[in-house]
Amino acid sequence: VDVKPILFNRGIPAAESFGIDNVLRAARDVLGEHGNVLMQYGPSTGFVPLREWLAAWQGVTADQVLLGNGSLQLLDFLCLALLEPGDLVFTEAPTYDRTLTLLRRRGARVVGIPLAADGPELDRLEDEIAKARPKLFYTIPDFQNPAGATCSAPKRRRIAELAEQHDFLIVEDAPYRQLRYRGTEERSLYSIAPGRTIQMSSFSKLIGPGARVGFLIGPVDLLKKIAKLAEDTYICPNNLAHGVAYEWCRRGLLPLQIERLKSLYAPRLDACIGALARHMPEAEATRPEGGFFVSVTLPEGTSTTAVREKARARELQLADGTAFFPNGGGDRFLRLPFCALTPAEIEEGIGRLGETVRELRGAVALA
């Protein structure tokens, strides 16, 4: 029998979320009207109308916004601008694995602050600050990748205070912020500490990652420095894609798209939480109110590496849980990105995961 592979390894949007018709119409119209501008080099800071639109949306001025080809490369430029090899950077543990790769490539010393369901453990953060002041604290406060945790309001306020007291910059990575399926929004760190925070976000989870439209919101002088590095790297970001994104936004499609995404993804989150309760009651799962990820702590004695190995035989692909931890650990950590799977696939996938874990525990019990 053919067993259909289930890909629980990548945090990507669902193909059916893309709304190709709207992108097509926006592209045709904007090229018809501004084709000569869009086909030319543009400013290193990005396509001006999109910058202005984003500024209005976020309640800042256009010079507080910097556009780039996705947010990840902007983070790389930020590191290039600010970090010397050996500089100390704090992240959450676990955190987004690509950020860890990029920080290491820039020579940073990375210290992970353990993440609880309501955000980073502040005692640990304060202990680490007392040992040595970081240059940056990279945090994903909303529907964190990979854990699914959202930072509470008191923790946000305290992180902002600590940044002020100890003179470090908060890098607030917020690509999932708009995708809240229930509950109420928390204030952004940027809104609490605008002078100390650089917020990164993108349209990757809203329009589609292929468009590569990302942005930073932050202090003007720092953005200027980053824009210079961007210019020296690629002259300007993808003007054509940014023009299409602008036209798409100008038509008022963003609020509609966010509602569409919520109604597509919320049942997938529920399917994931429900399936975990049914198939893996012994595992400890997070209960996010939005975003792309649920995470699971496997039962004692079950390693994520072994589960991942064994799951392959059941055509279940999982990500390496330990890769999200900057300083080791995560041996029982599993990230489950649910958005690109249908509720039926989620049910099937978590069923296979439960069988895999039981098989392994049986083997352990026998040994």
Ligand X SMILES: Cc1ncc(COP(=O)(O)O)c(C=O)c1O
Burial of residue 269 (number of CB atoms within 10 Å: 0-12, 13-18, 19+): buried
Using CB under 6 A as the binding rule, the residues of this chain from 22 to 81 that contact ligand X are 70-72
DSSP state of 273: H
At residue 28, φ and ψ (nearest 5 deg) are -60, -45
Closest C-alpha to 316, from 264, 263, 275:
275
Among 6, 8, 11, 295, binds ligand X (CB under 6 A): 11
Per-residue contact track with ligand X, 275 to 314, x per CB under 6 A?
----------------------------------------
Contact 187, 158 (CB under 8 A): no
Structure tokens at 175: 């690509």
Q: Is 17 helix (H, G, I), strand (E, B) or coil?
A: helix
Rounded Cα distance, 183 and 256, in Å: 19
Per-residue contact track with ligand X, 194 to 233, x per CB under 6 A?
--------x-x----x----x-------------------
Contact 293, 145 (CB under 8 A): yes
Could you say whether residue 137 binds ligand X (CB under 6 A)? Answer: no
Among 8, 47, 90, 96, binds ligand X (CB under 6 A): 96
Among 76, 97, 173, 348, binds ligand X (CB under 6 A): 173
Structure tokens at 125: 């953060």
We find the least distance from the C-beta atom of residue 27 to ligand X, in angstroms, to be 19
Could you say whether residue 140 binds ligand X (CB under 6 A)? Answer: yes
Could you say whether residue 145 binds ligand X (CB under 6 A)? Answer: yes
The torsion of the CA quartet 98, 101, 105, 111, rounded to 10 degrees, works out to 110
Tell me the number of residues near ligand X by CB under 6 A.
13
Closer Cβ to ligand X, 57 or 278, answer by number = 57
Per CB under 6 A, residues contacting ligand X are 11, 70-72, 96, 140, 145, 173, 175, 202, 204, 209, 214
